[in-house]
């Protein structure tokens, strides 16, 4: 391999391991070396355990040599957001103190990755209790967006370190969670792919809860192709990731019907964002995809009906009040402010809003039956610098804008993926969001794969982040 092994697509790494061109311990040493080189500057991880990963890689290599093949993720380094339980690793969930030992227990998502014999390198930073999409981790040093070498820009949240771990090269899959955008936002602003699964498709057991209604586990990866392999490893019933990938790859750009709407998603985008997304869609259309004009008023209406109540905070507050009421005094002020808004919501107003949101979700599902996906920008603004969100008002405004295009998708019960398509006027990554009906992840991923075949993956389209170029 002329390109370092750790920078190759998962499919190619897996083939090299089985052809004897690469050894799992050598791959892991590359990942550990990347963290050694970039970790101090980027600060992706709350907990790093390179020595344990090294030992596990040796054991997995022995299994592969003995003829046990657990699939394409076998022996590959992955990072896990620090709200998932991982045996032998502490869980802080962004708080100043470790949570009780029960939050080290692994749930079904981590268990599935373990069964695939992926190797956990460490746990990435999260916004406290996952309530925040800007990416500040107030109790710990905030991860740095690797696309700006001059200023400390945020890298999105709440899965704040996830996309950074991929850019660093210490992981090839980063597990996050998405309640209002917390997989897609960090993926978008760090130049990665992020999959928001439908609520309820994957278990949230073993994950510190924010919202029992809206929490969804999801992977961040370096390409859509890699996302399919991660999805297959976790999703019950798929098993063979290569088989799913071959099946989904049969869709081409000429098969696609991509919806476009004017309302909500395209307003007040920072320079270069709407332009990059539209240019990418024009490229796909040039290969035969049909761009279909449609309306989608449910997005703005769902946000209007629900977000003034902070519905995620209402559900999260119930959990914290029951188990961790003593932590409110040490809580990140930006997170506490959102919980305080939630505290003022009445039960009647909350359930009324949720009833409306469910009805709007049914309407949105009906509209999306006309197309394969609806396409929008993922994040409409350039990720701000840490200094630019240093006041409560500036933080609140950034929070509002970074979630504007993602949170309605959660409220409406849909699934979505973001993929990198360009750089904005500040040289920061731009994400294209593809939105599909709830429960239709396979169709969503097939559509995204067809687009990636035309556009290229993030590395091909964007190049390397400046802080990871060496």
- In the three-class reduction of DSSP (H, G, I as helix; E, B as strand; rest coil), residue 222 is classed as coil
Name the pairing type of β-strands 429-436 and 77-81: unpaired
What is the C-alpha separation between 16 and 352, in angstroms, rounded? Answer: 55
Q: Is 81 one of the annotated active-site residues of the chain?
A: yes
How far is residue 16 from each of residues 6, 20, 63, 166, 213, measured CA to CA in Å? 11, 6, 16, 20, 42
Name which of 137, 211, 215 is nearest 178 in CA terms: 215
Sign of the dihedral defined by the CA atoms of residues 252, 172, 31, 66, in that order: negative
Name which of 181, 121, 130 is nearest 158 in CA terms: 130
Question: Do 175 and 81 form a contact (C-beta atoms < 8 A)?
Answer: yes
Of the residues 46, 81, 123, 278, which is catalytic? 81
Of the residues 142, 182, 188, 211, which is catalytic? 182
Cβ–Cβ contacts within 10 Å for residue 35, how many? Answer: 24
Name which of 120, 125, 39, 138 is nearest 82 in CA terms: 125
Tracing tokens 């046990």 back to the chain, one arrives at: 68
Question: Do 306 and 353 form a contact (C-beta atoms < 8 A)?
Answer: yes
Per-state percent for the chain, helix, strand, coil, to nearest 5: 45, 15, 40
User: Pseudo-torsion of CA 25, 30, 31, 33, nearest 10°?
Assistant: 120
Of the residues 79, 158, 188, 211, which is catalytic? 158
Q: How far is CA 9 from the centre of its chain?
A: 18
Q: Which residues pair with 422 in a beta bridge?
A: 430
- In the three-class reduction of DSSP (H, G, I as helix; E, B as strand; rest coil), residue 57 is classed as helix
Structure tokens that stand for 430 in this block? 């731009």
* Angle at the Cα of 242 from the Cα atoms of 236 and 244, rounded to 5 degrees: 50
Q: Which residues pair with 432 in a beta bridge?
A: 377, 419
- In the three-class reduction of DSSP (H, G, I as helix; E, B as strand; rest coil), residue 119 is classed as strand
Q: What DSSP letter does each residue of 368-437 carry, written as one string?
A: HTTSSEEEEES--SPPPBTGGG-SHHHHHHHHHHHTTTTHHHHHTT-EEEEEEEEE-TTS-EEEEEEEE-
Q: Report DSSP state, residue 335.
A: H
User: In sequence order, what are the residues at sequence separation of 6 or more whose Cβ sits closer than 8 angstroms to the Cβ of residue 194?
Assistant: 163, 176, 178, 183, 184, 185, 186, 187, 188, 218, 219, 220, 221, 417, 418, 431
Active site residues: 81, 158, 182
């Amino acid at each position: 391999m002329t390109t370092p092994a750790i920078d190759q697509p998962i499919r190619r790494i897996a083939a090299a391991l089985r052809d004897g061109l690469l050894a799992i311990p050598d791959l892991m040493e590359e990942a550990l070396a990347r963290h050694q080189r970039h970790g101090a500057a980027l600060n992706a991880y709350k907990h790093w355990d390179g020595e344990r990963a090294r030992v596990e890689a040796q054991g997995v290599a022995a299994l592969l040599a003995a003829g046990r093949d657990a699939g394409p993720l076998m022996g590959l380094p992955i990072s896990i957001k620090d709200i998932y339980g991982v045996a032998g690793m502490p869980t802080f969930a962004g708080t100043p103190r470790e949570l009780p030992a029960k939050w080290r227990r692994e749930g079904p998502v981590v268990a599935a990755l373990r069964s695939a014999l992926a190797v956990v390198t460490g746990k990435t930073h999260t916004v406290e209790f996952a309530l925040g999409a800007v990416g500040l981790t107030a109790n710990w040093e905030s991860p740095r967006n690797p696309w700006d070498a001059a200023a400390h820009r945020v890298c999105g949240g709440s899965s704040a370190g996830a996309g950074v771990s991929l850019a660093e090269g210490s992981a090839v899959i980063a597990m996050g969670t998405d309640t209002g955008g917390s997989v897609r936002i960090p993926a978008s602003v760090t130049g990665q792919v992020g999959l928001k699964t439908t609520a309820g498709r994957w278990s949230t057991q073993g994950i510190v809860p924010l919202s029992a209604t809206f929490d969804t586990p999801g992977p961040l990866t370096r390409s859509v192709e890699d996302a399919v392999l991660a999805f297959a490893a976790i999703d019950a019933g798929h098993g063979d990731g290569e088989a799913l990938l071959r099946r989904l790859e049969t869709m081409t750009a000429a098969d696609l019907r991509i919806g476009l709407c004017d309302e909500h998603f395209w307003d007040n985008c920072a320079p270069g964002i709407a332009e990059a997304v539209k240019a990418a869609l024009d490229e796909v259309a040039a290969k035969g995809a049909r761009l279909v004009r449609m309306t989608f008023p449910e997005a703005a209406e769902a946000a209007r009906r629900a977000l003034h109540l902070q519905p995620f905070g209402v559900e999260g507050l119930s959990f914290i009040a029951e188990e961790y009421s003593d932590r409110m005094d040490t809580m990140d002020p930006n997170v506490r402010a959102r919980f305080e808004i939630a505290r003022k919501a009445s039960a009647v107003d909350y359930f009324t809003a949720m009833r409306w949101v469910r009805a709007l979700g049914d309407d949105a599902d009906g509209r999306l039956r006309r197309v394969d996906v609806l396409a929008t920008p993922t994040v409409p603004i350039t990720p701000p610098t840490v200094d630019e969100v240093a006041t409560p008002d500036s933080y609140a405004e950034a929070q509002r804008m970074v979630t504007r295009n993602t949170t309605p998708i959660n409220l409406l019960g849909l699934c979505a993926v973001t993929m990198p398509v360009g750089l904005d006027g500040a040289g920061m990554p731009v994400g294209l969001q593809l939105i599909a009906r709830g429960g239709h992840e396979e169709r969503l991923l097939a559509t995204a794969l067809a687009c990636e075949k035309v556009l290229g993956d993030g590395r091909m389209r964007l190049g390397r982040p400046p802080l990871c170029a060496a």
